[in-house]
Amino acid sequence: MKKPPFGALKANNILGFLCVILGVSDFAHSMHYNYAVAISSEAYSQADWKNVADSLVRKHEKNGTAKLFTWSSSVNDIKEELSGFKPDYIGYIARPAIECNAAFIVSVSRLSRQLDSDPYGDAVWGIITGYEASDALRAISESLTVKTVLAASANLSYEPPIRRFYQALGMTCDSYTKTDYLFPESEGKVYSEEKRPENEQDRIILVSKWLNAESMSLAISGKGSITGPVDCIITGGHGNVNLWQCHYPEAGTEGYMRSSGGKLFGSPYSGGSIAIAAPTPKIYWCASNCLMGNPNNKDNVVYAAFGSGHAVQMFGFVNNASAGDEFMAWGVYDRVTKSAGTYTLPQGFFLSNNNALFEINNPSGQMNTRLVEQFMDSTVFYGDPAGDVKFYDPGDSAKAFKSDITFEQDNSGNASFTYTFTMVAHDLEFGTGYCYQFRPASLLPVRIDPSSVEITKNEGHKALITDNLLIWEVLSQGQKLAKGNTKTLQWTAKITDDKTGKRIKTYSPLPPKKLPKLVASVKKSELLIKIKDIPKGSFDLQITDLNGKLCFQKKLNSAGVHEQSFSIGRLDTGSGIRLILLVQGGLRLNVTSVQ
């Protein structure tokens, strides 16, 4: 038999077929993002820091488009280039103290909001640094799923059904004995007792031991056990640039954690210094401590955390924490942990920072916006902002709230968006906590033209929609969103960039449509036609040769079910290539066959 032409497949030496699906395609969700790597030309001229930058580019080229940007006199030199690139993430590489300092943090924080015409954030950003370049290289190379949390100077709250962590241990800052346990099997319930592990009343001895351990191993008979390395330490107590006081408000008879020369040391109230050499990656989350994020001196905590402390990420305050820090302290903390697994720490930092700006620009009357403003550029996230570092996800039923975005695009690039916000754990009332913890804020799954936005449904109040960000004032004074209830916001806009990827974990693409399909086969010399997902109603079936000569025609009926088969019987039309055509209104499907 003559070899069939391209597109015709031979099957059982009798009939070959190729399915061709015609119809409107769904919007393709691209798993890519733009990542900018920014570094000074002087640092890039040094082999070790150049290796950090090149490694970061190679890492993110695997998931999107990564590009290197070098600056000479100021990081603001690259503003125009960054603006044209439209990054979703920016990793600012900075050498310790000489580049990475308080002034640099202010510059990059503001630069990251100045890449387009609106005043809000344009990219999730982080500063990548270390006492040595090798510390920075290690930090960007490691991944982590946070399961074990040590709240070293704080209690654990029992907020059923909310589960902030997989497992955790908390030691209240003003007590020598009170200890809280969140066991993996406890479904979020917290067990407390007036007894520290090992009856140790100087927690710095315990903290030093656990940071140095490959795994904690704690068990309370009849209650549960905690096993695994410390993945995240939340500090609390009182902080300084090179010192952490665990007991609060006074140090009492407990020790300190100190930093020097890129190393952490436990300094107990009595006894010798304990060198920290953490064997596993960790997040150092200085949620509300003064000064622990300050990078102005190489002996500061920042460089020790990324040195012997084995940090992959860190959050902290550059200046003193005080009134007005709610958005950047507890706003970040609650947004990340009360909906655990939804946002990464850098995403929570980004959203809370922009929520603070929304509060400043649209005062709720609940906050002193002058005090809020001072912390927008004096808090900092260190680490790769798109790194594979995330918190354990306990599922939607264990979260305070759930939000979701879906969108559907037409052929012209216009899209219809739907955003929903649901309270899962409790009622939500308008007030101070609502403003900094729960006001809906979300990265968009695609970039849009904000001038094209038309809101078609708004069950709340003011909705800010930029090219990459949504912040929605869903409640106002005296209003409440009851547990289990949902508010919906819908709008249309022109999509300008469909690169998405890690920009938003909660993005849920619409389920793919079932597209009609036509298949032809031969069984015992009879032609069988199989149709899938053809709408209910009549359709015409035609069979022609390659010259267009009609060999067969019949009107058949579709029942509208997923799959149907029709036997055409034997066709006495001789050998050759046939074109089988199905026509139903505007639907046309065809398949070639060879007999």
pLDDT digit string, tens, across residues 453-489: 999 999 999 999 999 999 999 999 999 999 999 999 9
Helices (H) and strands (E) in the chain, counts: 11, 38
Candidates 175, 208, 424, 201; CA nearest to 309 is: 208
> What mean pLDDT is predicted for residues 126-139?
98
Bridge partners (DSSP) of residue 463 are 472
The per-residue pLDDT for 152 is: 94
Q: Environment class of residue 190 by beta-carbon count within 10 Å: exposed (0-12), middle (13-18) or buried (19+)?
A: middle
The residue-averaged pLDDT of 582-588 equals 75
Angle between helices 47-61 and 133-141 (to 10 degrees): 10
Q: Which amino acid is at 251?
A: A
Confidence of residue 586 (pLDDT cuts 50, 70, 90): low
Most confident stretch, 30-34, 186-190, 228-232, 517-521 = 228-232
Q: Tell whether omega for the bond before 161 is within 30 degrees of 0, i.e. cis.
A: yes
Q: Answer whether residue 505 shows pLDDT above 80.
A: no
Q: Is a pLDDT exceeding 50 seen at residue 3?
A: no
- Sorting pLDDT into bands at 50, 70 and 90, what band is 593? low
pLDDT confidence of 499, banded at 50, 70, 90? low
Q: How far apart are CA 35 and CA 53, in angstroms?
A: 12
Q: Is 593 helix (H, G, I), strand (E, B) or coil?
A: strand
> Helix, strand or coil for residue 421?
strand
Mean pLDDT value of segment 299-313: 98
Q: Considering the chain, what is the average pLDDT of its residues?
A: 87
CB burial of 18-41 (b: ≥16 within 10 Å; e: otherwise) equals eeeeeeeeebebeebbbbbbbbbe
Q: Could you give the CA distance from residue 267 to residue 251 in angstroms, rounded to a whole number?
A: 12
Supply 297's token pair.
């001196």
In this prediction, residue 498 carries a pLDDT of 62
Q: Which of 34-43, 244-253, 317-326, 539-548 has the highest mean pLDDT?
A: 34-43
Q: Tell me the mean pLDDT in the region 383-389.
A: 97
- Give mean pLDDT, residues 42-65: 96
Q: Is the pLDDT of residue 291 over 70?
A: yes
* pLDDT for 516: 77
Q: Is the pLDDT of residue 281 over 90?
A: yes
Q: How far apart are CA 463 and CA 473, in angstroms?
A: 6
Mean predicted confidence (pLDDT) in 405-409: 90
- Name the residue with higher pLDDT: 380 or 507: 380
Provide the pLDDT for residue 541. Answer: 83
What secondary structure letter does DSSP report for 30?
A: B
Q: pLDDT grade, residue 412 (50/70/90)?
A: confident
Q: How far apart are CA 105 and CA 91, in angstroms?
A: 12
* pLDDT, average across residues 539-555: 78
The answer to whether residue 14 scores a pLDDT higher than 50 is no
What pLDDT score does 113 carry?
96
CA distance 314 to 292: 10
User: Which residue ranges form the domains of the chain, and what is each CATH number?
Assistant: 16-23+515-594 (2.60.40.3080), 34-136 (3.40.50), 145-391 (no CATH), 396-503 (2.60.40.1170)
Percent of the chain with pLDDT over 90: 73
Portion of the chain with pLDDT greater than 70, in percent = 88
85-97 per-residue burial string, b: 16 or more CB within 10 A, e: under 16: bbbbbbbbbbbbb
Identify the pLDDT of residue 21: 24
Measured CA distances, 224 to 187, 214, 235, 459 (Å): 12, 20, 24, 44
The band of 564, judged by pLDDT with boundaries at 50, 70 and 90, is: confident
Mean pLDDT of 368-389: 95
Please say if the pLDDT value at position 108 is more than 90.
yes
Out of 50-54, 96-100, 291-295, 568-572, least confident range:
568-572
pLDDT at residue 23, as a whole number: 23
What pLDDT score does 522 carry?
65
- Residues 57/58/59/61 CA torsion (nearest 10 deg): 80
> What is the H or E stretch that residue 577 is in?
strand 577-584
Q: What is the pLDDT of residue 410?
A: 81
pLDDT for the residue numbered 255: 95
